[in-house]
A and B are shown apart, each in its own frame.
Chain A
Amino acid sequence: MLEIKAVSTETMAESQRIMEICNACRYCEGLCAVFPAMTLHREFSSTDLGHLANLCHNCKGCYYACQYAPPHPFGVNVPATFALLRDETYRDHVWPRPLAQAFERNGTIVGIVTAVGFTTVLFLLGLLSAPGTLSHAWIGPDAFYRVIPWAAMAITASVTLLFSLLALFIGGRSYWLVSGTKRRVPLRAIRAGLHDAATLTNLGGGGYGCNESDAAFSMTRRYLHHAMAYGFLLCFAATTTASFYAYALHWPAPYPWFSLPVLLGSLGGVGLIIGTFGLMALKFTADRAPAARVLAGSDFALLALLFLSAASGILLLLLRNSAAMGILLGVHLGFILSLFILLPYSKFVHGIYRTLALIRAAADRDMRKTN
């Protein structure tokens, strides 16, 4: 288990300073879960701050409402400071520990891993497949496995995915041990936390949406994130159903247009494309002041990788009966492989810690109510 550190880093000290100001003001209490959670404390330890930072959904409502935001000499900037602090918690809880450096220049790392993963798949494909395989227009059952052998695909996918899921689990557990609660969490708090995570209530800025380019509220980011997150889950469901068909029912891919895996995957893919593209576009027009600039690379890298995974998948679906299928399959699986590898070492982890933070906040709320 991690030792509980005293307030150590610059970002941690700045977070502490800011929370002390916010706690004496409290006008943002109705904006999101962060401020009610803050009022439970009079002093802030690094673990409290880590929890509050991971509760923050970066809606920026508090920045525009804040009389102490720059140019005020107090210079309060909760969204930017908490974004940096969240990133520090990602490093603190990553498994295996040496990979904490992956969060150092995360945008570059994600980019490099993707490039390597992608070229490796293509290279092996070119090297190992029989001449003419790639450019042949395969049709019918087993078409994909003519290009990449079933065993190679299945083993690579399951090994990388299982390792990533294990790493995510260990990271989440480590986070909970430090920033979770020692009390027993009632089931209704877990339900409430999961509900808040699934609906992104806290991107609502008290029910009115986020701030993007200025003080005006908008639901755009919340809906785009929904498109992306649920798109991702649908794609995951598509992959799972497809595996079930292939291994349990011995019905190999590709599947017809109106089969369950293709329907789920197409819907999810379109959601991912809309969501990730929209979120990237929003970042270009967003106000830079409440954003942590050094994290832009990390944000963009994961969005881009998700976008490319989805777009290559859709393209593969559309052109699967053509001679381009072989190359496209390689490209798509290259992106997917990179995504699997990078899940625990990219911004993806925010989903895990955010959900855990929401569950703790719900448990704290629950306790306050019953007391």
Chain B
Amino acid sequence: MHDAPAGVLTDIYGEEEYWDDLRRVTGGQTDEALARMTIRASAALPAWMNTHGVKFQPSLTGTLSLGRTNAFFLGGGKALVNAYFAAAERIGVKILYDTEVTGLVMQDGTVRAVTAVSRGFPLTLRARSVVVASGGFQANIEWLRDYWGKAANNFIIRGTPFAQGTVLKDLLAQGVQQVGDATQCHAVAIDARAPKFDGGIVTRLDCVPFSIVVDRTGQRFYDEGEDVWPKRYAIWGRLVAQCADQIAYAVIDSKARSLFMPSVFPAITAMSIAELAVQLGIDPHALEATVARYNHAVQPGQFDPNRLDDCRTVGLTPPKTHWAQTIDTPPFIGYPLRPGITFTYLGVRVNERAEVLMQDGKPAANLWASGEIMAGNILGKGYLAGFGMTIGTVFGRIAGAQAARHARN
């Protein structure tokens, strides 16, 4: 949030608009008090991050209208984490690398010990204060299968393979209050050719609003032009996950080619729709019919990729409500899409002091949480670009300060 242009951020992004955006994407699955506190605290984050070595840069080339709402850090997430590790080491924090926490030993709402495996050796740590920031369970395909069945086998995990949810599962089994829907995860439609884990940002495809998206049978299934991409890309993973075999195909023509950032994988191109369908493995007649129906329904309008324009279809189900241009100029281009899982929503409940709450509603004596493991308190559904970082940074600061105060007393 910023009430005036600040650093790399342009214009104004005030509390009410931010809250409005959040309420809309979560469909009300949020905690207003925690959410507003987070939004207000976000205004101070760029300066704090800066003093801890994080550098910002102007909005990246090719990102859609994000300069107002999102501050990009220079070098991306790894550079951010490098800066934080360096800052922590400077003030004498000892960091154990190649170490996995396997569980917390809890007794009457107090953490007595933390068990871990460090460089292959078992380790027991005792501490006055414990902060968990161990993320969700999105890389645990077996756990995902509990809710998604066999479909989970076709999910691609966008980030680290280490997000196994070990600590989360352990805490929920020891009387910590749960928050968020266990069956839900943030899923984006990404290039189907991505590696199973850690493909990251380069596997994303921003072409959906300028395309039509069809399933394996060549049929459209959702309004591709519903809203600007930053506010819509998070629903497309789920949409593709619901398709047969969890696969879909975005189809554009050469007019749309340079309107979005390319994914790292080469575009699949052909001089006719039928030929493209063959390359994608779709029935050519079905795809031709879908494209013809769509082209027929496209209305004339003033095309503008940077705002909700008036290019739409009429008499088509489902409709395409913005950026609808005919697909008629070869070469035609296709990209295969699969659900890319970013994070899961299941977490531990916390209060405004980042204290982890037990099932009886009382806070645990010496346990705080930050990041994805508690983000479900505020973000119960959907996503706002950069909001995971915001929650993590706001609650990381609170949890750190509270834990330090408790340890010192």
Contact = CB atoms under 8 A, between A and B. Distances in A.
B262 A27 contact: no
A28 B76 contact: yes
A27 B264 contact: no
A26 B61 CA distance: 8
Interface in A17-70: 20-21, 23-31, 36, 39, 42, 61-62, 64-68
A216 B263 contact: no
B25 to A, nearest CB: 24
Contact of B202 (A25, A31, A207, A208): A25
A72 B74 CA distance: 20
A64 B76 contact: no
A96 interface: no
A25 B200 contact: yes
Question: Which of B76, B86, B204, B263 is most buried by chain A, counting CB atoms within 10 A of its CB?
Answer: B76
A21 B264 contact: yes
B401 interface: no
B57 interface: yes
B82 A215 contact: yes
Nearest to B58: A30
Interface in B34-89: 55, 57-58, 60-62, 72, 74-79, 82-83, 85-86
A67 B60 contact: no
Interface string A209-220: 000000110000
Interface residues of A, number: 28
A131 interface: no
B114 interface: no
B75 A61 contact: yes
Contacts of A208: 55
Chain B contact patch, size range: 20 to 34
Given A208-B55, A216-B86, A29 B60 contact: yes
Interface string B352-375: 000000000000000000000000
B386 interface: no
A33 to B, nearest CB: 14
Given A64-B82, A215-B86, A216-B86, A25 B76 contact: yes
Contact of B75 (A21, A27, A39, A72): A27
B62 A73 contact: no
Nearest to B266: A20
A31 B74 contact: yes
A16 to B, nearest CB: 12
A65 B77 CA distance: 8
B195 interface: yes
A26 B264 contact: no
Q: Looking at chain A's contact residues, is the secondary structure mostly helix, strand, loop, or mixed?
A: loop
Contacts of B61: 26, 29, 36, 39
B353 to A, nearest CB: 32
Contacts of A206: 55, 57, 74-75
A31 B262 contact: no
A39 B59 CA distance: 13
B258 interface: yes
Given A21-B264, A24-B262, A208-B55, A67 B77 contact: yes
A65 B78 contact: yes
B278 interface: no
B198 interface: yes
B76 A67 contact: yes
A65 B62 contact: no
Interface in B134-193: none
Contact of B264 (A24, A61, A67, A72): A24
Given A24-B262, A216-B86, A67 B200 contact: yes
A28 B202 contact: no
A68 B194 CA distance: 13
B113 interface: no
Given A208-B55, A216-B86, A26 B60 contact: yes
Nearest to B263: A24
A39 B62 contact: yes
Interface string A100-112: 0000000000000
Nearest to B159: A67
Contacts of A23: 262, 264
B201 interface: yes
Contacts of B263: 24
A61 B79 CA distance: 9
Question: Which of A21, A66, A68, A73 is most buried by chain B, counting CB atoms within 10 A of its CB?
Answer: A68
Contacts of A21: 202, 264
26 contacts: A24-B264, A25-B76, A25-B200, A25-B202, A27-B72, A27-B74, A29-B61, A30-B55, A30-B57, A30-B58, A30-B74, A36-B61, A42-B258, A42-B262, A61-B75, A64-B75, A64-B82, A65-B82, A66-B78, A67-B198, A67-B201, A68-B200, A73-B195, A206-B55, A208-B55, A215-B79
Interface of A: 20-21, 23-31, 36, 39, 42, 61-62, 64-68, 72-73, 206-208, 215-216
Interface of B: 55, 57-58, 60-62, 72, 74-79, 82-83, 85-86, 195, 198, 200-204, 258, 261-264
3 A-B pairs with the lowest CB-CB distances in the bound complex, closest first: A65-B75, A30-B57, A27-B76
Given A65-B75, A73-B195, A206-B57, 5 more contacts: A23-B262, A26-B60, A28-B76, A29-B60, A67-B77
